[in-house]
């Protein structure tokens, strides 16, 4: 009887392996792959129009599928955001423009509205939502002719108050590091046994108002760039329409940036301890 039970258990295990996930829950998996899409900015130069002056963004994702509903992922994005008063026409009389290059590292949790598992034909599509936290490095530039000028080298606005707290300085103009809360929604598709795709839109609420180098008021001494040919350019007030103390940006609201993108990932099964244990027999 004992030997018959053992043989029966072995045959059951073989049947399970042959039918993959037909009788057990889908195992935990890891997915790795690239993503590509567009990035855009919303802030003092463009407070209302998503996708205005959208730029290329790309990167990679590592996704840990905990179960059919919950996924956790690490995400890297190389993005560019840009805006100008001339294009956005929000305050064209300022004549300001900027371009920021962003390296963003985020950790987010995804929740699938439907049960989803890459490689399972019965659970092959699901919309999802996500949220998390990110740290990003950025550098803001102004375009003068065909030249990009690093705005971090110039005091384009009134200086930070001497009594500014350490965390205010950390996210101020002098810091190249920002923190944001990424969130959004998407749809994921199982394309084959190991391959999956996602289409996703995300926004990132930052805790800095200097992604565009526009935040507070006009200073007494303007920042002036001198080109190699001797031509000078006022980075603080290119149009000469403002005086000291007038509002240059809206310091009540921080900057945002967003992305719309697609990803393609390859699934790797992870050992999770489930299956047939013959050691008891």
Q: Is residue 112 part of a domain?
A: yes
The full 3-state SS of the chain, as one line of letters, equals: CHHHHHHHHHHHHHHHHHCCCCCCCCCCEEEEEEEEEEEEEECCCCCCCCCCCCEEEEEEEEEEECCCCEEEEEEEEEEEEEEEHHHHCCCHHHCCEEEEEEEEEEEEEEEECCCCCCCCCCCCEEEEEEEEEEEEEEEEEEEECCEEEEHHHCCCCCCCCCCCCHHHHHCCCCCCEEEEEEEEEEEEEECCCCEEEEEEEEEEEECCCCCCCCCCECCCCCCEEECCCCCEEECCCCCCCCCCCCECCCCCCCCEEEEEEEEEEEEEECCCCCCCCCCCC
Tally of domains in the chain: 1
Q: How far apart are CA 94 and CA 175, in angstroms?
A: 25
Which of 106-120, 157-171, 216-230 shows the lowest per-residue confidence on average (mean pLDDT)?
A: 157-171
The pLDDT, as a whole number, for residue 272 is: 58
Task: Provide mean pLDDT across the span 260-271.
Answer: 93
Please give the residue that has the higher pLDDT: either 115 or 19: 115
The pLDDT, as a whole number, for residue 175 is: 76
Q: Residue 267 in contact with residue 29, Cβ under 8 Å?
A: yes
Region label for 184, one of left (φ > 0), alpha (ψ between -120 and 50) or beta (otherwise): left
The pLDDT, as a whole number, for residue 11 is: 46
- Residue with token string 């740290």: 135
- Judged against a pLDDT cut of 90, whether residue 26 lies above it is answered with no
Q: Is residue 154 part of a domain?
A: yes
Q: Residue 74 in contact with residue 107, Cβ under 8 Å?
A: yes
Task: Provide mean pLDDT across the span 193-205.
Answer: 97
The pLDDT, as a whole number, for residue 152 is: 87
Q: Is residue 254 part of a domain?
A: yes
Q: Which two tokens stand for residue 113?
A: 């509205």
The pLDDT, as a whole number, for residue 230 is: 86
| Whether the model pTM is above 0.85 | no
Q: Which two tokens stand for residue 236?
A: 């603080």
Q: Is residue 278 part of a domain?
A: no
- Judged against a pLDDT cut of 50, whether residue 13 lies above it is answered with no
The string of pLDDT tens digits covering residues 120-171 is 999 999 999 999 999 999 999 999 988 899 998 888 987 665 555 555 555 5
- Residue 157: give its domain's CATH number: 2.40.160.20
The pLDDT, as a whole number, for residue 98 is: 96
Q: Is residue 6 part of a domain?
A: no
The string of pLDDT tens digits covering residues 268-278 is 988 754 544 43
Q: Is residue 186 part of a domain?
A: yes
Which of 1-5, 26-30, 147-151 shows the lowest per-residue confidence on average (mean pLDDT)?
A: 1-5
Q: Is residue 62 part of a domain?
A: yes
The pLDDT, as a whole number, for residue 40 is: 98
Q: How far apart are CA 239 and CA 230, in angstroms?
A: 19
Closest CA to 236 of 131, 151, 113, 139: 151
Q: Which domain holds residue 151?
A: 26-269
- Judged against a pLDDT cut of 80, whether residue 77 lies above it is answered with yes
The pLDDT, as a whole number, for residue 275 is: 41
Task: Provide mean pLDDT across the span 181-200.
Answer: 97
Q: Give me the chain's average pLDDT, please.
A: 86
């Amino acid at each position: 009887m004992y030997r018959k039970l053992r043989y029966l258990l072995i045959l059951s295990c073989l049947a399970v392996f042959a039918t993959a996930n037909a009788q057990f829950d889908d195992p935990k998996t890891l997915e790795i792959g690239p993503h590509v899409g567009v990035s855009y900015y919303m802030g003092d130069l463009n407070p209302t129009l998503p996708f205005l002056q959208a730029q290329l963004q790309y990167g990679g994702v590592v996704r840990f599928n905990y179960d059919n509903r919950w996924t956790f992922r690490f995400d890297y994005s190389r993005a560019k955001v840009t805006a100008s008063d001339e294009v956005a026409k929000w305050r064209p009389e300022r004549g300001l423009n900027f371009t920021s290059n962003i390296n963003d590292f985020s950790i987010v949790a995804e929740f699938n509205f439907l049960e989803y598992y890459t490689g399972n034909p019965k659970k092959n599509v699901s919309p999802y939502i996500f949220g998390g936290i990110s740290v990003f490095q950025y550098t803001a530039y102004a375009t003068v002719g065909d030249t990009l000028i690093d705005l971090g080298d110039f005091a384009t606005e009134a200086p930070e108050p001497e009594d500014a707290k350490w965390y205010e300085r950390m996210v101020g103009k002098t810091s190249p590091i920002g923190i944001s809360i990424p969130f959004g929604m998407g749809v994921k598709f199982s394309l084959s046994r190991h391959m999956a795709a996602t289409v996703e839109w995300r926004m990132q609420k930052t805790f800095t108002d200097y992604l565009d180098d526009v935040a507070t008021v006009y200073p007494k001494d303007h920042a002036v760039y001198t080109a190699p040919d001797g031509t000078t350019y006022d980075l603080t007030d290119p149009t000469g329409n403002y005086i000291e103390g007038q509002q240059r940006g809206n310091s009540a609201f921080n900057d945002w940036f967003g992305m719309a993108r697609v990803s393609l990932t390859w699934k790797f099964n992870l050992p999770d301890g489930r299956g047939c244990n013959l050691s008891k027999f």
